[in-house]
Structure 1
Amino acid sequence: MSAKILRSSFSFASLLLLTLLFWSCSSTKTVPEGDALFAGFKIKVNDEKDSSKRSSALATELSGTVRPKPNASIFGLRPKLWIYNAFYTEKEKGLGNWIQNKLGEPPVLLSEVDTNTVSDVMSSRLHNRGYFVNQVSSNTSIKKKKATINWTANIGEPYRIRKIAYTLDDSLPIHKAIQQTQAESLLKPDDPYDLSTMTQERVRIDAVLKNKGYFYFSPDLLIFSVDTTAGDRKADVLVRIKSAAPPRTLQAYKIDDVFIHADYFLNDSISTNDTLNIRGYRYIPSEDYVKAKHLLRGVFLYPDSLYTRQNQLLTVSRLMGLPAYKFVNLEYQPDTTTNDRLDAFLYLTPALKKSLRMEAQMVNKTNGFAGPGLLASFRNRNAFKGSELLTVDFTGTFESLVGGRGSDRENPETGEENLNSNLTSYELGVQTNLIIPRIVSPFRMRNLRTEFVPKTRINVGFNFLNRVNFFQMNSYNASYGYNWRPKQTITHEITPINLQYVQLVRTQPAFEEILANNRLLQRSFEEQFIIGSMYRFTYSNQAIKERKHQFYNDVSLDVSGNMVNALQSLTGADSPEEEAPRTLFGQAYSQYSRIQNDFRYYMKVGASSQIATRLLTGVGFSYGNSSTMPYVKQFSIGGPNSIRAFRPRSIGPGTYDVPDSLLFSFFDQTGDIKLEANVEYRFPIFGFVKGALFVDAGNIWLLRETVNPTTGEVDRPGGVFNTSTFMNQLAVGTGVGVRVDIEFFVIRLDFGIPVRVPYLPPGERNVIKDFNFGFTGDTGMTLNIAIGYPF
């Protein structure tokens, strides 16, 4: 990038910044005379006389009652208001009007805020929290046409519950069922009176009754009477059922018949006489679509059993998880012969069974290769009449290495452009994946009572890779595993059989020279027969959207060769040596253990902002039949989902400075240990456009140091992990990002700025002072274009 272009870019950025500052100071431009911009508010709760000390929580709750809200702001600026003012027009059509009203936001005026009404709502909220005696007042201050409203709530000691009594008729079973739940009641003596807790208690009691057969009961049939005449701010709570409750709501029901229409479409005429009786269920009309023995594993409604909502929800969730079905509907009807019985009707609407999809892609890999691709995918959602999902994917890509460290360098020996700068890759592959919605095992296993469908996965694939000027490679893979979720937050995934075989079929002199100069790298490419097992455990509460603090932790264990090596040892095979490893089917196999942990923490900040953090650690160790980890199992770092100030695979191991001649191959920049940490602040800008500020740090290291047998020199100097120096070897980057987030699809642009470069000499690693606005060199920016969030 020329100096002239840099100066122009800097001038434009400066002009844009000045414009933003100018318009931020002009946020009252469209405010009418005699009015003011509602710039903000504060809420203070005086709780000196309140022993519960809930002022912080109360202030947060009262803040939610303020209407209307002030214009959205970030760092004191109001971007949507700025857009409205900048493009303000009285025309009803045109581009300016569209930008003003679609992307902008009109000023929220003081005249729109009814402080008396808001104060009354706040007082009512305090009353619901047990502060029957409270006072809410407000005052408004205006400066330069900007108004700030301060609300003050004066409260005393809240009314507290003295005792809870159940005024029920013991002659009815439902009253006994309610009394039996009293030990788990949300209402506790000496707790402050709280209307929301009483509402939750009604829902809790209803949930208990629903699981005891009371199908027609509802929470609004429960009444809480509160008596405050006891004095000393004490309240007695009386729980009872409405006297006008219909008789059927007070009766427990059993399930009589269960009718299952396994191939239902809207407007189908159903005859309950035309059924198959299978294990007590009425199957309609036949097993031509999904066989009953497979479907019934997801049905937890049992004929002649007590109705429970738990079994109802479990059944619907499990059946909705079957690929063969698009809709699941469950209805109940009173039995025509017995007044305490219900007939259950399951209507299952099939999804489109077979589909073929063609998709043009833009491939962007973590190793820095990008280019056009084509995907053809065949899908059968009911392959063997058991709702098995069979997927066959055919892929083809043409990729070139884009960008990277040293992109502006020439070969130091010849002065010519590096051969690797034109590195391209061709790839063809086919993957066949079969997901069976049940556990298929040689051992008999009980049906798991979980709302998530347990799955058996079978995968077989082949891939051909042609890395121009380097090598051609055939890759074969096969696996057999299980996936199950005992509850919403926990997932187990075990793969007892995991096979991979990577075969170099043709190598070029340039690649052979690289291998000849690096014995460790040569070994990692030779030992590519992987036969082992994998286990993965994931915890995540991100699906619980209302949580302020969300956690995600994924730990995976990958082992290979241990069982084969143990069997060969038992049969008296020769001990493995570096030059003569043990073989399986004539091919050396890898023996290693690899563990990785991905921990993430998300904290909501305000209504729409979030702080996201990640700590990623991993270590792999080869032993026995292997002197090094397979290349495909080694760690790398850098890129759009890692340290974004550095290109993929351009860091490490340790302080190793890759030779200029290998800058574009990245073969050497892998390791046995990985440590990475990320912090990102995510915030809205306007509409579906969001922004981010981030800091990334990390590196990879080797567990062993290797020496080139020809030269006697260390292969990758500075690459071995050392507990006393590793913190000083971390690569650090920062930057800003823009994301177009339309919920189901996210396009991300991140501009990474290097702060610390570990492969530079010790006194020159802090490079932020030398930062330039270009995209070349060790101190330039890195543009990352990706799909989805980095973590």
Structure 2
Amino acid sequence: MRRFSYPEHSIAKISLFLLLTIVALSCNSLKKIENDEYLVARNTILVDSLRITDEDVNSLIYQKPNTALLGYPLRLNLYNLAKENPDSLYQDWLNRKPNRRKRLTKFLSEKQVNRLGESFLVKGLSEWLKEIGEAPTVLDTSRTRRSLERLSAYYDSKGYFLNTTTYEVDTTRRKQRAYIDYKIDLGKPYVVDSVSNEISSKAIDSIYFLNMGGSFVKEGKQFNLADFNGERERLTEIFRNNGIRNFQGSSITFDIVRDTVRAEDDQKMNITLNIGDLKRRGENEVTTSEYKVEKINTIDVYTDYLASYKSTPYRSITYGDFTFHYSDNFQIKPKTLADAILFEKGAIYRDIDKIRTSRQLNNLNIFKYPNVIFEEDSTGSKVNTSIYLAPKPKYSLGTNFEISRSNLRRLGVGAGASLLIRNIFKGAENLSLSVDGAFGLLSREIFQEDYFSEIGGEVTLDFPRIWFPFINTSKLIPNYTLPKTRIALGTSFQKNIGLDKQTFNTTLGYNWTPNEFKRNSIELLNVQYVRNVNSNRFFDVYRTTYNQLNDIATDQAVSPLLDPSYFNEDGNLTTPSEAQPDTTPGTTGFISDVRNGLIPTSNGGFTQEDFNNVNSIAEREERLTENNLIFATNYTFNKNNRNGITDNNFYQFRFKLESAGNLLSGISNLIAFNENDREQLLVFGVPFSQYVKTEFDVVKYWDLSRSNVLAARTFVGIAIPYGNSDNIPFVRSYFAGGSNDNRAWFPYSLGPGSTSAINDFNEANLKIALNLEYRFPIVGDINGALFADAGNIWNVFDDVENPDAIFSGFDSLKDIALGSGFGLRYDFTYFLFRLDLGFKTYNPAEIPSKRWFRDYNFANSVLQIGINYPF
């Protein structure tokens, strides 16, 4: 990403201009307020003299103050900029001078003059300002009294039937501003004294008494209308899951009677629960009948409903409790559907079975949403079930196209295509074939080539069950949890990107979802092989690392000790890609001389610190240029309590545990593997990685008020190498910075620890990230955010020896970097486009006395571009 810098005097001018603009606009807040009117500035609800901040209670007030952006009423002032009657003003202007209309008509035409009055500049601008703005909230005491009535009714529903309400309006604090205090004295609440019941149907009566222990309405509990609504929903769910398929929630009513025998100050209530009979509305009358427990009778499944509906010939077969009706156009194995349908012949009807059956059939991804119909038989105690399924098209083709830009790639154009083949083996197996490619221009500051290209492809097979050899998993993972097995094979090839990696991967994984709030995923086998095609380009790609090595080698005290052939015409070390044939590259020769002790360390020249740095560079080169073989197994658990995309008061939790190399390590006890010079075991000539990795990720949202949201995230991850590895593969390590992490730093530029971006791509095996973001509406679909991002990466339990990069305990927490800033978001409904400007607030790479606000300015800010929210 390109960094932008501005002269300090320009920044000062821009800041001054913005300040003057805000001051000018702020003078217009009362522009459309008459002299005898007041702008509502604040509402305060006082209940028994205590201020109430609960959003549910405050939402009961009809008149709310105009929204403010950081205390500034932006939308109100935008509204005030709009003209009230642009049509009349235009006509007044047009007729103000006798010849103005005539001249305009002669120059344009009568039609164009009239259309000018409808143009954006004359009329449209004012309409747009009114649309994105907000009309002033003018005090209306009639609406204030209605707000009191709503507040009184709200506390009535909580059992405070004797509450009293008043309000006070203060107009003396600021010019034409009204501050309103709503005061409620609750009094003593009413309490449930007794609970009785009257139930008409015998079947309902027996089910109720088996489940009455979980009632929301209990003796001794304070009266709360929400408890009665909750009890109605609870009982309705219980009855419908115990055979009463057609139970109506309206059959449940409550008689609430105040106990008048007791003293007046003893607020007690007697509750009677009434559950009536089933009501059926006919053409001329309403009939009633007792509720009955119904059992499933026949189960008919039409697998090609549209074809059957058109009278296309079809055949029927019986499988277990089911009768399947097939057309000649669509076939599927009976067992596949039987596993997805949870109804059983002779079992009582349960609503949960219907819901889970619909979810499972929909999850097969071969049918459109199923239609389940129940019909009573002649006895009235059994139901015939018909399930109508309409197949999706067997083949689906998808395409994608994207344009990208980053600090590594000046321009990138990508495209991809995928083909989905449904029900390929007649058991709801779905085969997906995909291919992706990209081509573009590279940054010449980093790469010598002008272009890059990459291409990849993947074959994925999904089937709706847990496949595990010789083990029946249906008892451990029931069918209603939407079990799925995935087998994937993929590869990708890069050219002129880094070391030109070739990647081959295969996955055998399972996932299941017990409910909409929990998800489990296991990758029993995750194999990844990474081959570096052009490892001799290391120092050409990692230029920061090369510069460090070159600075040490070209030091006046060191360079005379080196072979002159190590250097090029410019006096810099040659790299393997530019060295002459049959000559030792300067980088290779210098590292070899240092490690072999041919360059002595002394205080005046080549120091011990220089030796350590060269050795560290050599180890990093070996690590990043060697091929990787990863045999891993991992488990991921996700949980959240979000109810729909509009819910902004929820949490998300993710836990992941991964282990790699243990299978191959165990096999090595049976089969002798070859070893390299570092005593690492080799499989197909490649040392396999061995490590354990775990991650915790927690996200919490708080819905503050009026579309204002506070979001927080905590992430902790660690990967520990052992056995056959003394470090973590680059593709499994952590990095810091970027649009979804610490936004004051570019990706890979923060850390490890207090080091100052010592490498081109800085990564480590321990990461802590803490994010806090306040989101608020600005205008229309434009939203804003203020954020603070903290965190860093460190090395721990690996082969890194730099103490500044190692996490050594609680003292290392002082290396947690802090970035803060602000952002703009535009909501396109289906996705959100995001711009964030981050400022380095606390930079652990600086000396301790200069870590706070050293680079807190626009010249050193970082602009991040992202899609959707960062967390």
For residues 414-436 of structure 1, give each alpha carbon's deviation from its aligned partner in whole angstroms, at most 9, with x where no partner exists.
xxx95549786421111222222
Residue 546 to residue 354, structure 1, CA distance change in 2 (3 Å) = closer
Corresponding residue of 1:383: 424
| Structure 2 gaps, min length 5 | 88-117, 280-286, 541-574, 577-586, 592-616
Aligned partners of 2:227, 2:8: CA distance in 1, in Å? Answer: 62
Corresponding residue of 2:354: 312
Letter in 2 for 1:165: S
Letter in 1 for 2:678: E
* 1:366/1:648 contact within 8 Å kept: no
Corresponding residue of 2:473: 445
Q: 1:38 aligns with which of 20, 37, 40?
A: 40
Residue 741 (1) aligns with residue 827 (2): yes
The CA deviation at 1:350 is 2.5
Q: 1:299 aligns with which of 338, 341, 354?
A: 341
Residue 80 to residue 237, structure 1, CA distance change in 2 (3 Å) = same
Larger Rg: 2
Aligned partners of 1:352, 1:67: CA distance in 2, in Å? Answer: 51
Residue 558 (1) aligns with residue 658 (2): yes
Residue 256 to residue 673, structure 1, CA distance change in 2 (3 Å) = same
Corresponding residue of 2:458: 431
* 2:299/2:386 contact within 8 Å kept: yes
Residue 572 to residue 430, structure 1, CA distance change in 2 (3 Å) = closer
Aligned partners of 1:450, 1:11: CA distance in 2, in Å? Answer: 66
Corresponding residue of 1:81: 76
- How many residue pairs match? The answer is 747
Aligned partners of 2:289, 2:337: CA distance in 1, in Å? Answer: 32
> SS in structure 2 opposite 1:300?
coil
* 1:67/1:113 contact within 8 Å kept: no
Corresponding residue of 2:582: none
For residues 120-152 of structure 1, give each alpha carbon's deviation from its aligned partner in whole angstroms, at most 9, with x where no partner exists.
232222222222222222232334222233221
Q: 2:770 aligns with which of 677, 696, 714?
A: 677
Residue 724 to residue 316, structure 1, CA distance change in 2 (3 Å) = closer
Corresponding residue of 1:51: none
Corresponding residue of 2:393: 352
> SS in structure 2 opposite 1:320?
helix
Corresponding residue of 1:610: 709
* 2:714/2:769 contact within 8 Å kept: yes
Corresponding residue of 2:92: none
Corresponding residue of 2:686: 587
Alignment of 1:458-473 (within 5 A): 458-467=487-496, 471-473=499-501
Indicate the larger mover: 740-749 or 576-585: 576-585
Letter in 1 for 2:495: N
Corresponding residue of 2:719: 620
Corresponding residue of 1:405: none
Alignment of 1:137-156 (within 5 A): 137-142=166-171, 143-156=174-187
Indicate the larger mover: 61-70 or 559-568: 61-70
Corresponding residue of 1:474: 502
> SS in structure 1 opposite 2:193?
strand
Letter in 1 for 2:193: R
The structure with the greater share of residues assigned to helix is: 2
Between the aligned residues of both structures, percent identity stands at 26
* TM-score, normalised by the number of residues in structure 2: 0.80
Residue 303 to residue 273, structure 1, CA distance change in 2 (3 Å) = farther
> SS in structure 2 opposite 1:482?
strand
Letter in 2 for 1:236: N
Aligned partners of 1:393, 1:619: CA distance in 2, in Å? Answer: 33
Residue 180 to residue 705, structure 1, CA distance change in 2 (3 Å) = closer
The CA deviation at 1:598 is 1.6
> SS in structure 1 opposite 2:199?
coil
For residues 426-450 of structure 1, give each alpha carbon's deviation from its aligned partner in whole angstroms, at most 9, with x where no partner exists.
2111122222222122122216446
For residues 713-758 of structure 1, give each alpha carbon's deviation from its aligned partner in whole angstroms, at most 9, with x where no partner exists.
x6x5622222153122222211111111233201110001012223
For residues 195-223 of structure 1, give each alpha carbon's deviation from its aligned partner in whole angstroms, at most 9, with x where no partner exists.
22112111211111111111222121122
Corresponding residue of 1:52: none
Aligned partners of 1:400, 1:601: CA distance in 2, in Å? Answer: 40
Corresponding residue of 1:489: 517
Aligned partners of 1:230, 1:56: CA distance in 2, in Å? Answer: 35
> SS in structure 1 opposite 2:739?
coil
Residue 400 to residue 626, structure 1, CA distance change in 2 (3 Å) = farther
* 1:471/1:507 contact within 8 Å kept: yes
Aligned partners of 2:225, 2:803: CA distance in 1, in Å? Answer: 68
The CA deviation at 1:601 is 2.1
Q: 2:634 aligns with which of 527, 534, 559?
A: 534
Aligned partners of 1:548, 1:746: CA distance in 2, in Å? Answer: 16
Q: 1:160 aligns with which of 178, 185, 191?
A: 191
Aligned partners of 1:37, 1:121: CA distance in 2, in Å? Answer: 22
Aligned partners of 1:452, 1:193: CA distance in 2, in Å? Answer: 39
> SS in structure 1 opposite 2:364?
coil
Residue 3 to residue 487, structure 1, CA distance change in 2 (3 Å) = closer
Corresponding residue of 1:265: 306
The CA deviation at 1:253 is 1.3
Indicate the larger mover: 302-311 or 349-358: 349-358
Alignment of 1:325-340 (within 5 A): 325-335=367-377, 337-340=378-381
* 1:733/1:754 contact within 8 Å kept: yes
* 1:368/1:647 contact within 8 Å kept: no
> SS in structure 1 opposite 2:845?
coil
Corresponding residue of 1:342: 383
* 1:83/1:99 contact within 8 Å kept: no
For residues 509-551 of structure 1, give each alpha carbon's deviation from its aligned partner in whole angstroms, at most 9, with x where no partner exists.
5346679642244134314011121111222223467877522
Aligned partners of 2:647, 2:415: CA distance in 1, in Å? Answer: 40
Letter in 2 for 1:225: D
Q: 1:281 aligns with which of 319, 322, 330?
A: 322
The CA deviation at 1:278 is 2.1
Residue 548 to residue 84, structure 1, CA distance change in 2 (3 Å) = closer
Residue 65 to residue 397, structure 1, CA distance change in 2 (3 Å) = same
* 1:256/1:303 contact within 8 Å kept: yes
Letter in 2 for 1:590: S
The CA deviation at 1:483 is 0.6
The CA deviation at 1:786 is 1.1
Q: 2:61 aligns with which of 63, 66, 90?
A: 66
Corresponding residue of 1:454: 483
Aligned partners of 2:30, 2:66: CA distance in 1, in Å? Answer: 12
Residue 280 to residue 235, structure 1, CA distance change in 2 (3 Å) = same
Q: 1:98 aligns with which of 116, 127, 143?
A: 127
Residue 500 (1) aligns with residue 534 (2): no
> SS in structure 2 opposite 1:312?
helix
Corresponding residue of 1:781: 861
The CA deviation at 1:783 is 0.5
Letter in 2 for 1:309: D
Residue 155 to residue 626, structure 1, CA distance change in 2 (3 Å) = closer
Residue 305 to residue 271, structure 1, CA distance change in 2 (3 Å) = farther
> SS in structure 2 opposite 1:114?
helix
Aligned partners of 2:407, 2:199: CA distance in 1, in Å? Answer: 66
> SS in structure 1 opposite 2:747?
coil
For residues 538-589 of structure 1, give each alpha carbon's deviation from its aligned partner in whole angstroms, at most 9, with x where no partner exists.
2222346787752222122222211111221244657x56524222233322
Residue 124 to residue 629, structure 1, CA distance change in 2 (3 Å) = closer
Residue 680 to residue 399, structure 1, CA distance change in 2 (3 Å) = farther
* TM-score, normalised by the number of residues in structure 1: 0.87
Letter in 2 for 1:35: E
Aligned partners of 2:363, 2:660: CA distance in 1, in Å? Answer: 33
For the aligned residues, what is the CA RMSD? 3.0
* 1:214/1:250 contact within 8 Å kept: yes
Indicate the larger mover: 291-300 or 65-74: 65-74
Corresponding residue of 1:631: 730
